[in-house]
Homo-oligomer: A and B are copies of this chain.
């Protein structure tokens, strides 16, 4: 597996909803910021190696082998993100780019030991589940902040939009992973929320609320 092949597999995995449906060539080109012709070339190679099923003009579908490969890469990516955030004090908006490099390091022992060192985390700093050694994916036991009702409480465990700008915004407003959140009330007018975050009052737009994952605390 070359680095480039791995990146294609990963992109296809994400675009296909975890290998559920097939993906058009152009979507891959857009996602990876390359030309469609390059995608066609690479797809042929991946098809020869049986990572994907491919019929000309009909898009690509990940094979079983392709899905497992994708999960391995994603496992590595997310474990490294946890390492960077938990051990090296990176902010959650800084972990992605470095993890993008680290995910290509080849050593099974390294990943198993890292997993152990981090205490077998289930979720990465964005709240995304970390695939297990055998590819099993934990369900997110989460809900969006926007789906919560007054008086409900929870812990902020992830973001839906993991763009750098959103993560920067959260840092600026002192919203961090692990923060305790309680809903005070919901404005009827624009569905914005008044919340208590770590006991401090804060007003939050609907837009933001639909991008924050909360692990609910039962009342």
Contact = CB atoms under 8 A, between A and B. Distances in A.
Interface of A: 84, 87-90, 94, 97-98, 101-102, 105-107, 109-110, 113-114, 117
A94 B89 CA distance: 27
Contact of A87 (B90, B94, B106, B117): B117
Given A94-B109, A109-B94, A88 B117 contact: yes
How many copies the complex holds: the figure is: 2
Contacts of A110: 84, 88, 98
9 contacts: A84-B110, A88-B113, A88-B114, A89-B113, A90-B109, A90-B113, A94-B109, A98-B107, A102-B105
Nearest to A107: B98
Contacts of A97: 107
Q: What are the 7 closest A-B residue pairs judged by CB atoms, nearest first?
A: A88-B113, A98-B107, A101-B105, A98-B110, A88-B117, A87-B117, A102-B105
